[in-house]
Amino acid sequence: MKMLEVKQLGVRYGTLDVVKDVSFSVEEGEWLMIAGPNGAGKSTVVSAVSQSVDSTGTVLFCGKDVRSYKPQELARHIGVLSQNHAVNYAFMVREVVGLGRYAYSRGLFAGRSDTDEKAVEEALALTGLQDLAQQSVLKLSGGELQRVFLAQIFAQDPDLLILDEPTNHLDLLYQKQVFSLIEAWRKKPGRAVISVVHDLSLALAYGTQALLMDQGQTVAAGPVKDVLTADRLSSVYGMDVKDWMQGLLRQWEGL
């Protein structure tokens, strides 16, 4: 069964069609990479799927329109990692990660349960943040902050992860760690991932499916190796992408 099905998605800002007639689907166990040049509408697509912006078309999660889900219920199924995290207040890392359990809170004076505490601890451990748990988020680097919000999503424990540039601000070690973490997370039953990526090598290495976009529209969708072909990428990016990538790799020869 399709976990997420998007049909004829459209987003309009004023008179500008930012996303037009985009359709794709994600099944359990898949990792869909959304790729394309700047301004292609990649982030807008994930914003529309996660209900952050108004859109036309249909977005179905497990066959049910996402608009018909209550916010807490939807958050138990879909977790979203945004691109920017500007925090103004000195919340502790543990507090921000703990917010991921909001979707499971009930009642007027509900506190955090043992299950919530365990989920937060596991998320902190998974992202290597235990030592920073009591640290103010204002004192963290961009990469550490990105890991905090990733930990929040792990604590949220959804079925579908939607990640907008998940390795934004991360150095190479953490890029590798984050992708490995998400890869391990995805392989558990009943889970799938959608991520917006600029790094096409990462898309090819970790993605199972791809959606290539340009100027708000779908260029191609399907298995990652069928979509991100050299000819198609050259056409979309206006340059010989494969040649440039291989040229970069050759710089490593002899080192």
Given 14, 15, 16, 86, the residue binding another protein (CB under 8 A) = 86
Nearer to another protein, 30 or 157 (CB): 157
Judged by CB under 8 A, does residue 115 bind another protein? yes
In one letter, which amino acid is 137? Answer: V
Judged by CB under 8 A, does residue 177 bind another protein? no
The 8-class DSSP code of residue 33 comes to: E
Given 7, 56, 65, 71, the residue binding another protein (CB under 8 A) = 71
- Contact present, 79 and 156 (Cβ < 8 Å): yes
185 CB-near residues (< 8 Å, 6+ apart) = 154, 161, 191, 193
Q: How far is the CB of 20 from another protein (least distance, A)?
A: 21
**Spatial CA neighbour of 199 closest among 160, 161, 172:** 172
Judged by CB under 8 A, does residue 51 bind another protein? yes
Judged by CB under 8 A, does residue 7 bind another protein? no
Q: How far is the CB of 213 from another protein (least distance, A)?
A: 21
Given 82, 135, 215, 217, the residue binding another protein (CB under 8 A) = 82
Bridge partner list, 161:
79, 193
Given 66, 103, 178, 233, the residue binding another protein (CB under 8 A) = 103
Pairwise CA distance, residues 10 & 217, whole Å: 9
Pairwise CA distance, residues 45 & 126, whole Å: 28
**Spatial CA neighbour of 81 closest among 162, 171, 199, 178:** 162
Which spans of this chain sit near another protein (rule: CB under 8 A)?
Answer: 50-52, 70-76, 79-80, 82, 85-92, 95-96, 99-100, 102-106, 108-115, 117, 138, 149, 152, 156
